[in-house]
Structure 1
Amino acid sequence: MIEISNLSKYFFIHGKRLDVIKNLNLTIKKDKITVVLGRSGCGKTTLLRLIAGLESLSAGEIRIKNEAKIGFVFQEARLMPFLNVYENIVFSLKKHEINEAKIDDLISMIGLNDFKFASPSQLSGGMSSRVALARVLAYEANLILMDEPFAALDAFTRASMQAEILKIQAGKTILFVTHNIDEALFLADEIILLEKGGIKSSYDLSNLARPRDLLCDDVIRLKREILAHI
């Protein structure tokens, strides 16, 4: 779905050039989950922002081959403080696009039935993150960019939301950024290991069945390989 060719992004800080992405070449496959894994500061978030058009390219090209309706789940929930949960979820929709039953299903999926009309100030950080995810799903994006969306969630809720991502993934291309190896192994069709703005290695997980047992020999072997390179 996305072809990235010789992509570079740099900034100048006090006259010194800082390279964040360097000559990166990458193909993001349609209707698959590609996970970008790496340490903090390796360029993961910048890559998402470049694809979304939120940052300008310093060099190279990003081509989205198919018609894309892009949804972005940021690290921060970025909810409108003057709108309640329901209003935040339908914020990007026109009135005739709002399907009440579907919105109620999304609110149920994120476990916030009792908070449908709560304001963001009444939500925890994890709850707010779930609302942000529901907002993108309500928008029916077919290219979803996710920047560590579950970082603020507790382990149980995180596992639940990961499972929901797999349920709703059909017909959607997802580019998911994380520094959590287990999360990458559970979700990914392909893992891209980023280091200092370039691709250090990649791993094809399409042959590993879902739901994925993180304790099976194949996954443990792959985890050890990734840890040796990270």
Structure 2
Amino acid sequence: MPRLLLLWLALTGSALANDRLPVTQVRFSASGERVLAVTQGARDGSGFGTAQVTVLSTTSSRVTFQAQRTADQAPGHVLTDLLAAPATRAALSGLAGRPLSRPRYQRVYSVSFPRWSDATPPGQTQVTPVALWSRAVPVRLHVVPLPSDCSPELLPPGERPAGFILSVNGQEVWRDRALPSGRACAARYTLERVDVQGNRVLVTVRAYGPGFEGPDATALFVAVTLK
């Protein structure tokens, strides 16, 4: 992958200094069978730049590649170094040169830092109409309490660990039956972004859990082929 292309990829989008690291890039392969999501920004607390590259299959909904790098550098430089790694370059074959996706839905937050009130608690449902094609269809995010080994003192009073069920136009595309270790203390969720190419869709959900000062809002990606 040419260095100029690496730099172009790294500088596309903005980087913000908070603990809701922005999704700066989404790119579908020509066939739509794979999709790339990039997050980058500065870590709250340390101020270090960080970047993550995630490649997903829209056929199997699996993450086929993921790499992350954090360093005492600007986020754009961190991403450039991450993209230059041989494993990343190989994983992005057929994706790196593809055009940026324009989201069909993009949540706009009123403040730059995450708040618990931004997201949906267990027992409630967030329904968002999204114009995927010629008309809007409902994207339904239902948050459900789930057992977890999260220490109760890590969460604010009244919050409890939870997962989510996600459906698009009535098609269930994700269901948490147990919480993975990385989301043991996730307590709330919100829909942030929806990208589409044909009938291939990438949904970005934010998981809210305890962070440095207030909640962290971690990006989760669900890739699917809609029927």
TM-score, with structure 1 as normaliser = 0.26
Larger radius of gyration: 1
Greater RCO (CA < 8 Å, at least 6 residues apart): 1
TM-score, with structure 2 as normaliser = 0.27
- Give the structure with the higher percent strand: 2
